[in-house]
Amino acid sequence: MPEVIGIRFKPVTKIYYFRPPDVELKFGEPVIVYTTHGEELGWVASEAKVVPDSKIKGMLKDVLRRADPLDLMSLQEYHCQEPAALEECKTRAEELGLAMKVLKAEYAYDGSRILFSFSAEQRIDFRELVRVLVRSLRTRVEMRQVGARDESKAVSGYGKCGRPLCCSSWLTEFHSVSIRMAKNQKLPLAHEEISGQCGRFLCCLAYEDKFYTEMKMIMPSVGTIVHTPEGMSKIKGLNIIKQTVIVETEQDTIVELP
């Protein structure tokens, strides 16, 4: 089993595994790592540990060194240039008549490249846009088309609950969410009631789904005939949160019982 160290590149994002260096690195330390896109600056999110081979996807790349104060200063300087670069990309895309929504600009820590994230209803031929941006920004330009959920994560906002969106405040990975989860929790099935800012099913539908599923396995099924203090009764419904059952008695009365 390989020894790895976990690195995170941005807050509220996935942790990636790398081959640890010879020196000991502590949680939160900034480091320079080698990725498929070149060198990147990230932070130690989990210290060196041994993990099963099944946790490793592809070849492990190296942590090259600790980031020094000059690296961090460079990162901050280029971070300050991102809003202007974002506006430049939006302007150029509009001039070229591209039906795309440019969401975010992210410079590499050393300014060697910039990544623009965008959303669009269909595939976009952005080759001319890249050529124009390379001339104006004088660095390597990469474009990444993202889906609706990633768009909400990038722009942030507030959910129906009044709290910051889960995807932009703490959720590091998206998980599958289905209409079955809403049905399982007896929620209104109207699209606008169970959809988030992204237009997809609310991520929070998955949070309590396991609890509802487990409780339904313990509690009697709807339609079951049971003996109660009211006599023989038929289960008409379940209240999972209160862990009670709604029954219909032989006298045709509806009673809620623990």
Could you read off the pLDDT of 76-133 as tens digits, one per residue?
Answer: 999 999 999 999 999 999 999 999 999 999 999 999 999 999 999 999 999 999 999 9
Residue that the structure tokens 């595994």 belong to: 17
Looking at the structure, do residues 10 and 56 belong to the same domain, yes or no?
yes
Check if the beta carbon of residue 247 is closer than 8 Å to that of residue 232: no
Q: Could you tell me if residue 126 is inside a domain?
A: yes
Please determine, for residue 56, whether its predicted confidence score (pLDDT) is greater than 90: no
- Within 10 angstroms of residue 232's Cβ, the number of other Cβ atoms is 11
Instruction: Tell if the pTM clears 0.85, that is, is over it.
Output: no
Residue 229 belongs to domain spanning: 219-257
Looking at the structure, do residues 132 and 85 belong to the same domain, yes or no?
yes
Q: Could you tell me if residue 237 is inside a domain?
A: yes
Alpha-carbon radius of gyration of the chain: 26
Looking at the structure, do residues 78 and 140 belong to the same domain, yes or no?
yes
Residues 6+ apart with CB under 8 A from 74: 109, 110, 111
Looking at the structure, do residues 84 and 53 belong to the same domain, yes or no?
no
Q: Could you tell me if residue 100 is inside a domain?
A: yes
pLDDT value at residue 61: 92
Model pLDDT for residues 128-161, shown as the tens digit of each residue: 999 999 999 999 999 999 999 988 988 889 999 9
Check if the beta carbon of residue 90 is closer than 8 Å to that of residue 102: yes
Looking at the structure, do residues 54 and 19 belong to the same domain, yes or no?
yes
Q: Could you tell me if residue 151 is inside a domain?
A: no
CA–CA distances in Å: residue 37 to residues 41, 61, 145, 248: 12, 12, 16, 65
Looking at the structure, do residues 77 and 140 belong to the same domain, yes or no?
yes
Q: Could you tell me if residue 214 is inside a domain?
A: no
Q: Could you tell me if residue 152 is inside a domain?
A: no
CA–CA distances in Å: residue 189 to residues 7, 96, 178, 222, 256: 40, 41, 11, 20, 25
Looking at the structure, do residues 28 and 84 belong to the same domain, yes or no?
no
Number of domains in the chain: 4
Q: Could you tell me if residue 36 is inside a domain?
A: yes
Q: Could you tell me if residue 156 is inside a domain?
A: no
Residues 6+ apart with CB under 8 A from 122: 99
